[in-house]
A and B are shown apart, each in its own frame.
Chain A
Amino acid sequence: MTETAIPNVTPSRPGTAVPARPRGPRLTTGRRRQLLGMAMVAPALAVVTVFFLVPLVMTFWMSLHEWPLLGEHQFVGLANYIKALDDSEWLNAIRFTLEYTALITPILFAAGLALAFLVHRESRAARIFQSVFFLPVVIGFAAAAYLWLYLAQPGLGPLSDLAVRSGLGSRDTNWFATATSGLLIVTAMVVWKVAGMQMLLLLSGLQSIPGELTEAARIDGAGRWKVFRHVTLPLLRPTLALVLVFSVAGSLLAFDQFYIMTNGGPSNGTITAVYQIYRTSFINFELGYGAALSAMLMVVLAAVSALQMLLLRNSDHS
């Protein structure tokens, strides 16, 4: 508001508005500071350039070529992209990735929100439970996947044992025999591993809401649900957006859990987009085509991230 109230200020670089400093020692100090600043930023910038910016540009460059691991590469224009649009394996991978994202996002969100409300109190016990619920987050996806692969083993695993005891399946029901039940086991694992993260982020959002606000609403006669619906939820919106974008971006990039737990099977039913890129580039060694698929994935993810920035920026100004 205050910025827009100033009329007709021509945009100028901040430095020009300041009256010129007297030349002399102060200027050389300033110059030295600038040079030192550049020198300090340079090493990080070099690493980011070599291992991020160059590969980023190269992804697009390679995607325009037929690029085998060994031997000559050959310019093919947009042929790889045209091929991708008609490639049933790739389209199936995209469809599966979207299905997985659509399945897991609401579950994770509900679990995270429930946990956050559960531990949102000022007590020693609540803090201990926070730490406990967060514990699976620090374990890697590979370790968690192998752990749950065992839990769900037909006959041998405790989960399968539990299912038998509660009459949900027989001792040799193989949950990895169909893509659907395999997907459900993977989803259970990911919820177990990631819900704590969502809890923590939502909790920090909840804690930033001043207690007086909800108290005032209660005093004014609003019930618990009304307070939640009309006070807590609107104030929590930026955090909710953030958490949603995190889980969508994470699910679109899923690889480890499917590679380890279902091996992409049965009959390629659980191949995700990243998994298909992996197979194209590093099993079939069609690096150019893999790069084209990567470029397509990148565009989608950049859109998700841009959406995140937009949502967060809006929250800053509201």
Chain B
Amino acid sequence: MNLIADVRRTLPRAAWWAACLCVSVVTLYPLYTMLSQSLKTPAEATENPPTLYPHGLSPENYTALGNTGQVGVWQHVGNSLVVAAGATLLTVVLATLAGYGFAKLRFRGSGVLFFVILATFMIPFQAIITPLFSILHGMGLSNTLLGLALVYTTFQLPFGIFLMRNSFAALPPSIEEAALTDGCGLVGAMARVLLPVAIPGVISTALFTFFASWNEFFAALILVTDEAKFTLPVTLTVLASNQLGTLNWGLTQAGVAVTAIPCIVLYLLLQRYYVTGLVAGAVK
């Protein structure tokens, strides 16, 4: 009797663990392959059939990354950092200001403007890339990291403004009033009292912009044609095509790892903000 009860209780649990572990293997195995392939020696990386794990750990692929293409990968890491950090900073500042304006300092027409900005959601930038290219060209911003950062900012702004407006709107007016009676100006009230409370929204906005800008491929491919200014996702095409003869999959996977690992680390550190921002943005 006891045994049967035990089995009936533990069997679904065991099945659940088995299912979850199986999916975990499917999810994590490609990531494991990325790392193991990148740490193999170039000779081992081209073995057919592939080895399951690196038999001799070698940093060779990572050092070789510095000498491939025109400028080496580390310059591209720098480009990606500049673009992603620039777009993130700009988006956070503009979205915080606009979010506060839309939430707390309503003016005539602010509702319509907010709707116009939200409507940007409906049209993806893939659809307006052709004139965007011409406009950046006309402004002398084609082929520059600044131009790319501005484009990323534009397409992250609606979500950021939406998130920040909601963060500020959720705060009771009494907080602001208290700050005002304490002698803060309107700007002071925002910076010293309301902003600290809205910090989770700021972090979510920053994270989303950073991930999107770091990983974006299509606009980066079109708007930047000078190899020295490529961001990492486009650099991967150089790694894959620049080698003579056969592809070096160890080197390519090292490039993939350099592109992917910062995102994974950032996500694991800040996933709380990422997930709440995502859910808030999607559901509302």
Contact = CB atoms under 8 A, between A and B. Distances in A.
Nearest to B33: A158
Contacts of A281: 129-130, 133
21 contacts: A34-B106, A52-B128, A52-B154, A58-B135, A62-B134, A129-B24, A133-B27, A138-B264, A140-B263, A142-B237, A146-B240, A146-B253, A147-B30, A149-B240, A153-B249, A158-B29, A204-B283, A260-B237, A274-B218, A287-B133, A297-B126
A61 B50 CA distance: 53
A156 B33 contact: no
A287 B33 contact: no
A207 to B, nearest CB: 9
B1 interface: no
Interface of B: 16-17, 19-20, 23-24, 26-31, 33-34, 37, 46-50, 90, 94-95, 97-98, 100-102, 104-108, 110, 113, 116-117, 120-135, 150-151, 153-155, 157-158, 161, 186-187, 211, 214-218, 221-222, 232-234, 236-237, 240, 249, 252-253, 255-256, 259-260, 263-264, 266-268, 271, 274-275, 278-279, 282-283
B61 to A, nearest CB: 13
A41 B101 contact: yes
Interface stretch (A85-93, A102-110, A175-183, A301-309): A301-309
Contact of A291 (B131, B157, B274): B131
A119 interface: yes
Say whether chain B's binding surface is mostly helix, strand, loop, or mixed.
helix
Interface residues of A, number: 90
Interface stretch (A43-51, A213-221, A229-237): A43-51
B33 A47 contact: no
A66 interface: no
Contact of A200 (B27, B90, B134, B275): B275
A35 to B, nearest CB: 8
Interface string A104-147: 00000000000100110000011001011111101111111011
A266 interface: no
A139 B218 contact: no
Contact of B124 (A54, A140, A253, A291): A253
A240 to B, nearest CB: 12
